[in-house]
Amino acid sequence: MDQPKFTILYCRLSNEDSLDGESNSIANQRSILTRYAKEHDFQNIRILTDDGYSGTNFERPGIQEALSLVEQGLMENIIVKDMSRFGRDYLQVGHYTELIFPSRDVRFIAVNDGVDSARGDNDFTPFRNLFNNFYAKDTSKKDRAILHARGISGKHMGKPPYGYRFDPEDRNHWILDEDAALVVRRIFDLTIAGKGPSQIARILEQDKVLTAKALYSQQQGRPLPDRPYHWVEQSVAAILERMEYTGCVCNFKTHSKSYKLKKRIPNAAEDMFTLPDTQEAIVSKEQWNRAQELRQCRRRPSKAERQGIFSGLVYCADCGSRLHFATSKNTDSRQDRYICSRYKSGRGTCTVHYIREDILRKVVLEHIRAVTAYVRSDVESFQEEWLQCQRTDYENSIRSDKQKLAQTKKRLADIDVLISRLYEDMVLGTLSRERYQKMSQGYEAEQAELNNTIIGLEDWIETREDMNDSLDQFLVLVKKYVEIPEETVNFSVSMEEKSFR
């Protein structure tokens, strides 16, 4: 005996639609559809709902279940309150209503829009789908504008990472989670000491350090997971990449190409928004930068369990390739050397040449001493020379931002004029109140974004106009390392100067 086919009553409500009030609520949709099905004697009713799902995305549990019934040949009718409840992507809606449903003998009804596939094509339906698509696109623009305004206002846009927690008195502020912050500092220290994420994960597991999930479970009084000390290298690497540990806000780290696509794409550093000193730092900016440098130049531990301190930093003068660190268990450290990676024992494209590490240490140390001696001998001349080198780049950057600031302020003033004109048109009756409210809301959202942009630009220009801070930090480091006693200097620390070139 054939299984009876279903009549699906489908309801959908997104977060944006919920602002419209009761008319689009799930309860109201269910009531309308149930009454319609009863009045028209539809049998074998099944109600499917998607509460809190956007109409631009067809990866919804309810609609996927309905489409699965279509594929199985178990659906006879699908009834929705209106076309927008089924979806707001006019291409996908048209694909189902004009191709899939007719080919499977599925009757599609949109009650309030007067659409019934059993009565033939409705010429206005494609235009209604297009209008629904425009609505979704317009809503997405407003949401993005609001998120952008929040992002550049200096507020965090996500949850605190491992090492921080919400301030009980201010949800927009993060405070230290002392237990986790100690682990974060240790991870950065181990990285600067030359350890990779997998090595660090093993060290933390051996020392029985609770993972992030296990720590949160302990803090909330819940049972610990099965392997509470099992750190994985991906978790360690993710911690090392979080700029927020330097005490800053870092927003807009990813983006999507379209409001229809959910895949997030990493942003370039210049497209992110960062604001320093918004919460207590766990590691210094210099430590974070050094960790990123070491992560970019990953060094493999040798069989002799010795690592070259210049690995990833030394290049061949002839071909430009990196020099590989070479050592052996059967020789002492004085034979450690760096060899061109393109030599390949005579089978490569470069000739044989190398430099011993102890010689390279002495050369680098001599240059560091020469620079620090020069700085000590005439600090004022060094300051003048350093400022002269930086001035051109700073002035060009500041000039560009000042121009952008002026354009932003002009646009802000123009919007005030536009809102005033809209109000006059509404009073004179040439513009409806509903249209006025919708347009003014869009302008007000843009104004909020522009105001935040102005605040950010003004602060950033003021910060860069004062270049003495960076110079002072550099001079502090010079004084710290100006007396280098021997060639066994810890370059993993003293390389901090690179940040202030």
> 467 to each of 155, 238, 434, how far by Cα in Å?
26, 32, 51
pLDDT of residue 453: 77
CA dist., res. 134 & res. 419, Å (int): 23
pLDDT tens readout for residues 21-33: 555 688 888 888 9
Q: Are 9 and 37 in contact (CB under 8 A)?
A: yes
64: which residues sit within 8 A by CB, 6+ positions away? 58
Which pLDDT belongs to residue 181? 92
State how beta strands 249-251 and 115-116 pair: unpaired
Convert the pLDDT of each residue in 385-433 to its tens digit: 666 665 555 666 677 778 888 888 888 888 888 888 888 888 888 888 8
Report the percent of the chain where pLDDT is more than 70: 70
* Residue 492 pLDDT exceeds 50: no
Which own/partner pairs from 91-94 qualify as long-range (CB within 8 Å, at least 24 positions apart)? Answer: 92/58, 93/129, 93/132, 94/126, 94/129
The whole-chain average pLDDT of the chain stands at 76
pLDDT value at position 431?
82
Minimal CA–CA distance to 211: which of 230, 196, 188? Answer: 230
Give residue-wise pLDDT tens across range 231-253.
988 889 989 988 889 988 887 76
Is the per-residue pLDDT at 187 higher than 80? Answer: yes
Interval 103-145: pLDDT, tens: 888 999 988 877 888 876 554 445 454 544 554 455 555 555 5
Work out the average pLDDT over 263-291: 80
Confidence of residue 320 (pLDDT cuts 50, 70, 90): confident
Instruction: Identify the band that residue 276 occupies on the pLDDT scale cut at 50, 70 and 90.
Output: confident
Q: Note whether 36 and 17 are within 8 A (CB).
A: no
Return the structure tokens found at 172.
């927009």
Query: Three-class SS of residue 481?
Result: helix
Dist CA 207 CA 479 (whole Å): 37
Instruction: Give the per-residue pLDDT at 329.
Output: 64
- 497 pLDDT band (50/70/90 cuts)? very low
Pick 89 or 465 by higher pLDDT. Answer: 89
The 3-state DSSP class for residue 236 equals: helix
User: Of 113, 35, 154, 128, whose CA–CA distance to 456 is shortest?
Assistant: 154
Segment 14-42 mean pLDDT: 78
Q: What pLDDT sits at residue 56?
A: 77
Query: Pick the residue with more confidence: 177 or 255?
Result: 177
